[in-house]
């Protein structure tokens, strides 16, 4: 067996010079310190994205993206297609875990200030991918064309429509008309399976190339060569095998979730039916939704909702461009403000999400 593998490896190596790549990876080191565990979340996010691509393609073989057939095709997938239930459930669960892993990855990079020079582009591509992940979630949520998805999309696009000036055109663009209809479904389907994956793949390529090129970010003052006990670990095979081990655990977790908590399909959407009580967005939008619910209708002369949306927009932009205004971290200095802002954001998101579920 070993002989056979060596034979195949030599055959490929002869043609594409794999040895160079192994040598490159063998020279790449991962710092070992008390926050090293957060490095794994980038890999977990990547793994979950790969699962999304694979299960998404499998679902695409049966899914029909039209108002009349979308719901029925999912029903067919989960009841008639062999292991269709598993693929659909894994796709739905992996989508949520993907957003969660990406969020943890983003916050860990933020608190480690790993975005600082020279990794600004890595941070920017990561942030763009995170926004795309939210877009994947929002567009994919409508695809089963069930009651909950229909009204959640209605509410979600309504919120987008509130933005002054550009809100109305955005709403019309997202819905492909005045209301959420079959045209919206087709549009969301197109975004979900073609536009977003295309952009995401390009961004992911840049992100991964940069990570490989620049190596893992080290914390402030980390220096393994000074004999102070600080260590590193070869990326290949040590870190990669650990990554693989974690991926296996995540895969098992997904299987458990899919079997014990199969993703429900609910009732088919009916545009003429009254909105069901307690419509809630996906958990990752909950803190924004809850904020807009709690904000007063009028603040001074402006609509509370408009102020809320503009504030979230500004906070998102500030967050995204943190490498460019956090000069201290780039210079290797400590910046406590960044930590306070990050802690505030985490606490705010957690509290508002909990409030969204209990209120």
Partner 1 sequence: MKYLSTAILKVTLILCFTGIAFAQDQCYTCHQALGDKPATMYKKDIHFAKGISCASCHGGDSKKEEMEAAMDPATGFKGVPTGDEVSKTCATCHADAEKMKTLGSTLPTTQWEHLQSSVHGKLSVSGKENIVQCTTCHSVHDIVSVKNPTSPVYPLNAVKTCTKCHADASFMKTYNPSLPVDQFEKYRTSVHGTLNGKGDPKAAECASCHGSHDIRSAKDAKSKVYAANLPATCSSCHSDAEYMKGYNIPTDQHANFSKSVHGIALLEKHDIAAPACNDCHGNHGAMPPGVESISKVCGTCHALNADLFSSSPHKKAFDERKLPECETCHGNHDISPASKSLLGVSNDAVCSKCHSEQENPKGFTVARMMRTMIDSLETLEQTASGLIDEAEQKGMEVSESKFKLRDAHQARLQSRTAVHSFNEEKFREVVTKGLTVAHEVGTEGKAAVDEFYFRRWGLGVATLIITIVGISLYLMIRRIERRQSLSKTKTQ
Tokens 């009651």 locate to 147
Report d(CA 128, CA 123) in Å as an integer: 9
Nearer CB in complex with partner 1: 9/344: 9
Write out the residues near partner 1 by the rule CB under 8 A.
75, 78-79, 85-86, 234, 237-238, 241-242, 244-245, 248-249, 251-252, 255-256, 259, 262, 264-265
Residue 180 or 258: which CB sits closer to partner 1? 258
Contact 188, 197 (CB under 8 A): no
Nearer to partner 1, 78 or 132 (CB): 78
The minimum distance between CB 147 and partner 1, in angstroms, equals: 14
Q: Which CA distances in Å does 335 have to 110, 295, 320?
A: 12, 31, 17
Task: Report the sign of the C-alpha dihedral through residues 59, 92, 359, 345, in that order.
Answer: negative
Q: Which residues contact 176 (CB under 8 A, 6 or more apart)?
A: 183, 184, 186, 187
The CA distance from 230 to 236, in Å, is 19
| Distance of closest approach, residue 307 Cβ to partner 1, in angstroms | 43
Determine the Cα–Cα distance for residues 271 and 75; give it in Å rounded to an integer.
Answer: 19
Decide whether 164 or 237 has the Cβ nearer to partner 1. Answer: 237
CB of 259 to partner 1, least distance (A): 4
Strand ranges (DSSP E) for the chain? 29-32, 231-234, 298-299, 302-303
Comparison of 233 and 345: residue with beta carbon closer to partner 1: 233
Q: Which residue has the tokens 């490095």?
A: 39
Instruction: State the nearest-atom distance from the C-beta of 169 to partner 1, in Å.
Output: 39
> Shortest distance, CB of residue 243 to partner 1, whole angstroms?
10
Nearer to partner 1, 75 or 96 (CB): 75
In contact, 353 and 283? CB cutoff 8 Å: yes
For the CB of residue 282, give the shortest distance to partner 1 in the complex, in Å.
20
């Amino acid at each position: 067996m070993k002989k056979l593998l060596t034979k195949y490896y030599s055959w490929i190596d002869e043609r594409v010079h794999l040895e160079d790549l192994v040598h490159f990876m063998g020279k790449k080191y991962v710092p070992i310190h008390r926050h090293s565990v957060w490095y794994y979340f980038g890999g977990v996010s990547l793994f979950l994205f790969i699962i999304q691509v694979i299960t998404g393609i499998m679902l695409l073989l049966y899914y029909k993206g039209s108002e009349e057939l979308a719901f029925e095709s999912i029903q067919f997938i989960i009841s008639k297609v062999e292991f269709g239930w598993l693929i659909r459930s894994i796709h739905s669960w992996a989508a949520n875990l993907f957003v969660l892993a990406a969020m943890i990855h983003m916050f860990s990079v933020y608190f480690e200030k790993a975005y600082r020079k020279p990794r600004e582009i890595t941070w920017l591509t990561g942030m763009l991918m995170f926004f795309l992940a939210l877009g994947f979630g929002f567009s994919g949520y409508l695809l089963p064309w069930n009651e909950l998805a229909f009204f959640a999309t209605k509410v979600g696009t309504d919120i987008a429509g509130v933005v002054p000036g550009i809100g109305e055109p955005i709403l019309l663009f997202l819905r492909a008309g005045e209301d959420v209809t079959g045209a919206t479904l087709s549009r969301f389907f197109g975004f979900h399976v073609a536009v977003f994956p295309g952009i995401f793949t390009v961004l992911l390529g840049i992100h991964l190339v940069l990570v490989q090129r620049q190596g893992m970010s080290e914390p402030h003052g980390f220096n393994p060569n000074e004999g102070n006990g600080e260590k590193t670990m070869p990326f290949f095979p040590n870190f990669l095998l650990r990554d693989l081990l974690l991926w296996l655990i995540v895969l098992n977790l997904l299987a458990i979730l899919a079997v014990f908590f199969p993703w429900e399909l609910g009732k088919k959407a009916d545009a003429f039916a009254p909105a069901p009580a307690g419509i809630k967005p996906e958990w990752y939008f909950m803190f924004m939704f809850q904020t807009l619910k709690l904000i007063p209708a009028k603040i001074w002369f402006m609509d509370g909702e408009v102020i809320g949306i503009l504030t979230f927009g500004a906070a998102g932009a500030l967050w995204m461009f943190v490498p460019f205004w956090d000069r201290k971290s780039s210079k290797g200095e400590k910046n406590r403000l960044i930590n306070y802002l990050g802690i505030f954001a985490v606490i705010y998101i957690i509290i508002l999400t909990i409030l969204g579920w209990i209120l």
